[in-house]
Structures are given as structure tokens and as C-alpha cells.
């Protein structure tokens, strides 16, 4: 592989100083999942020429991200340094995707969801504050009020008028909530099909210590519970806060957190929805591989997304 595209390979090795070189593969630290936090020398992103179809691909054996080499070069800002003849070689091996389209499309949409300016007076920000109170500092950078990155003009117009969005942690999705309480309450923008969830964490997170993963079924319940615990001086610190997309994805969401941070030994606190029995949560959490857990409910019926949370019911498993 190195003989066919030597400049490409040397660019990758320069960009990723921690790497391994084998006869058929080059392995670097995965820029998509960040790779192992505990071992900063370990590498999971394999860049290889696949023997069956001769296509150059990148595959991470940690987060399972799998993409053509060209996309990898675009994502990591290397494509502009790759000589034309090497791009041609990589492209010709991969005849399944029209090359020029791919570059234009990727550059147009994938990176557009940059951090947006946070404006307290924006009516969409006001909507969030009316529902959950203050917006935690760490969350502000994930809030999207402007959807001009959306390519479909009708969807873009609707999102800009009626929705506020939250980007997921790796910015592969934007989860959008209708602020005018229309029957279509949620809408997603998928920038990438990689599995990704909304999360934030305490400042100075100590991954080597033990901590708590707070998981809620939705972003508003998560933020509501966070604010409630904060108001009552009950935030434990050293915690990760994550929202699954509904109750059925709790297991995969916790596995995602485990893969991202390597926190298999941490405790889990489920922020429960009043309509869901605690045994359901126990099943979901245990099948994700976590065993120390508890569930909290808003004692007075509503879920935590409701502004009036006064007391918490705790079920320790």
C-alpha cells in the first residue's frame, strides 16, 4: 500500500504521530472516537487496501467507524496536500462513489454545524430556559438556533422558524425540538450515520476515578434533572450526563458512553420517566454491562423536563 500512495501515507503519519506500520496496514489513533483514553499509545483506526475489492478503507475497531480513505483525508484536512495522481489511484480503486460529488458534498454539509454564537435573547434560547431554567454552561456550545447547514430548503425554512437544536457529542446529528408545540415535536438532522448522542460532563472529569453516568430518555429531562440536583446541592461531581433517544436506546447509549470514555466500572443513575416502570430500566442498564445503578423519579408525577420538580423518589437496585 505504501508503494502505491506514498505521499498520502506520509501525510497521515505526520498528522497522527502515534501510529503503527504493518506490511498491509497503517494504524493510527481514531480521530472519530478519540481512541483509548486510558492508553494514549493504543491505535484502532486501520487504513488498509482491502484484498477482496482493492478499495482503500479506514476502519476503527473501537467505534466501528468505517469510511473510504478519501473521506478520511477530507475529514482530517489532508486532501489538499495529496498529489492528484494519488487521489486518482485511491479513487479508481473505489469506483462505487462519484469522486467529485463526494468531496463537494462532504465539505458542504459535514462541518457546517460549528459552534454557534449563544444569544440569551434569542426566542429559541428563551424556550429552553422557560422549560428547564438556566442552561448549564457546558451545554451552551451544543445549542443550534440557525439551521442554514440544512440542504433541503423546505426543511431548512421550517427548522429556522420553529425549532431549536442540540448537536450530539461528535456532531454527527442535530436533535431538534419544535418550540411552538406543534404536533411534530422532534426532528433529527443526520449529518453522518455514525451512532452519536447528546452528552456533557463536569469540568475536570477524572476518568480514572469512579464517577456517575446520568442517563435520561431526552435532553429536556436530562437538563431538568441536572438543574434540580444542582439547586438542591445534590450534584455529585465527576459525572457524565447523556440523553438516549427514547427508552429503547438506553442500552446502546450506555455502551456508546463506555466505548467513548472507557468507564465500565462507573455507576449509572437513570433519570426515569414517570410512565416507565423501574424494572424496565434495570433490564436495559444491566444488558449494557453496567451493574451499579439507581433510578430517580420526579416524585410528583411529571418527568424532569417539567419545570416544577420538588422532590425525588430514589430506587436503589
Q: Which is nearer to Zn ion, 62 or 124 (CB)?
A: 62
Q: Which residues pair with 60 in a beta bridge?
A: 45
Asked whether position 309 contacts Zn ion by CB under 5 A, the answer is no
Q: Which residues in the 193-232 window bind Zn ion by CB under 5 A? A: none
- Minimum distance from CB of 43 to Zn ion (Å)? 10
Q: Which is nearer to Zn ion, 19 or 62 (CB)?
A: 62
Residue 31: count of CB within 10 angstroms of its CB: 16
Number of amino acids touching Zn ion (CB under 5 A): 6
Q: Which stretch binds Zn ion (CB under 5 A): 59-67, 69-77, 123-131, 168-176?
A: 59-67
Asked whether position 29 contacts Zn ion by CB under 5 A, the answer is no
Q: Which is nearer to Zn ion, 235 or 264 (CB)?
A: 264
Asked whether position 63 contacts Zn ion by CB under 5 A, the answer is yes
- Minimum distance from CB of 290 to Zn ion (Å)? 21
- Minimum distance from CB of 28 to Zn ion (Å)? 10
Q: Which stretch binds Zn ion (CB under 5 A): 55-63, 185-193, 199-207, 291-299?
A: 55-63
Nearest one of 258, 213, 241 to 136, comparing CA atoms: 241
Asked whether position 30 contacts Zn ion by CB under 5 A, the answer is yes
- Minimum distance from CB of 229 to Zn ion (Å)? 32
Asked whether position 60 contacts Zn ion by CB under 5 A, the answer is yes
Asked whether position 67 contacts Zn ion by CB under 5 A, the answer is no
Q: Which is nearer to Zn ion, 64 or 157 (CB)?
A: 64
Q: Which is nearer to Zn ion, 58 or 296 (CB)?
A: 58
Asked whether position 43 contacts Zn ion by CB under 5 A, the answer is no
- Minimum distance from CB of 35 to Zn ion (Å)? 6
Asked whether position 62 contacts Zn ion by CB under 5 A, the answer is yes
Q: Which stretch binds Zn ion (CB under 5 A): 58-66, 91-99, 256-264, 304-312?
A: 58-66
What string of H, E and C letters represents the secondary structure of the chain?
Answer: CCCCCHHHHHHHHHHCCCEEECCCEEEECCCCCCCCCCCCCCCCEEEEECCCCCCEEEEECCCCCEEEHHHHHHHCCCHHHCCHHHHHHHHHHCCCCCHHHHHHHHHHHHCCCCCCCCCCCCHHHHHHHHHHCCCCHHHHHHEECCCCCCCCHHHHHHHHHHEEEEECCCCCEEEEEECCCCCCCEEEEECCCCCCCEEEECCCCCCCCCCEEEEECCHHHHHHHHHHHHHCCCCCCCEEEEECCCHHHHHHHHHHHHHHHCCCCCEEEEECCCCCCHHHHHHHHHHCCCCCEEEEEECCCCCCCCCCCCCEEEEEC
- Minimum distance from CB of 184 to Zn ion (Å)? 33
Where do contacts with Zn ion occur on this chain (CB under 5 A)?
30, 32-33, 60, 62-63
Amino acid at each position: 500500500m505504501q508503494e502505491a500512495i506514498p505521499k498520502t501515507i506520509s501525510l497521515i503519519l505526520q498528522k497522527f504521530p502515534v501510529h503503527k506500520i504493518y506490511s498491509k496496514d497503517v494504524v493510527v489513533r481514531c480521530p472519530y472516537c478519540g481512541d483509548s483514553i486510558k492508553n494514549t499509545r493504543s491505535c484502532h483506526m486501520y487504513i488498509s487496501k482491502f484484498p477482496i475489492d482493492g478499495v482503500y478503507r479506514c476502519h476503527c475497531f473501537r467505534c466501528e467507524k468505517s469510511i473510504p480513505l478519501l473521506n478520511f483525508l477530507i475529514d482530517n484536512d489532508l486532501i489538499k496536500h495529496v498529489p492528484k495522481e494519488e487521489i486518482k489511484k485511491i479513487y479508481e480503486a473505489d469506483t462505487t462513489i462519484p469522486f467529485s460529488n463526494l468531496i463537494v458534498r462532504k465539505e458542504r454539509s459535514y462541518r457546517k454545524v460549528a459552534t454557534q454564537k449563544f444569544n440569551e435573547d434569542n426566542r429559541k434560547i428563551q424556550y429552553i430556559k422557560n422549560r428547564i431554567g438556566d442552561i448549564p454552561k457546558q451545554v451552551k456550545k451544543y445549542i443550534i438556533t440557525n439551521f442554514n447547514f440544512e440542504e433541503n430548503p423546505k426543511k431548512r425554512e421550517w427548522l429556522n422558524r420553529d425549532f431549536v437544536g442540540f448537536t450530539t457529542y461528535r456532531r454527527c446529528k442535530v436533535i431538534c425540538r419544535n418550540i411552538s408545540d406543534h404536533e411534530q415535536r422532534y426532528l433529527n438532522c443526520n449529518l453522518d450515520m455514525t451512532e452519536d448522542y447528546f452528552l456533557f460532563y463536569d469540568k475536570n472529569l477524572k476518568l480514572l476515578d469512579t464517577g456517575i453516568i446520568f442517563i435520561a430518555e431526552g435532553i429536556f429531562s436530562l437538563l431538568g434533572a441536572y438543574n434540580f440536583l444542582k439547586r438542591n446541592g445534590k450534584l455529585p461531581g465527576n459525572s457524565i450526563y447523556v440523553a438516549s433517544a427514547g427508552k429503547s436506546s438506553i442500552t446502546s447509549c450506555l455502551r456508546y458512553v463506555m466505548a467513548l470514555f472507557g468507564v465500565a466500572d462507573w455507576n449509572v443513575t437513570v433519570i426515569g420517566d414517570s410512565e416507565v416502570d423501574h424494572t424496565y430500566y434495570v433490564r436495559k442498564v444491566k444488558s449494557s454491562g453496567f451493574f451499579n445503578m439507581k433510578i430517580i423519579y420526579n416524585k410528583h408525577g411529571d418527568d424532569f423536563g417539567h419545570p416544577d420538580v420538588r422532590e425525588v423518589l430514589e430506587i436503589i437496585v
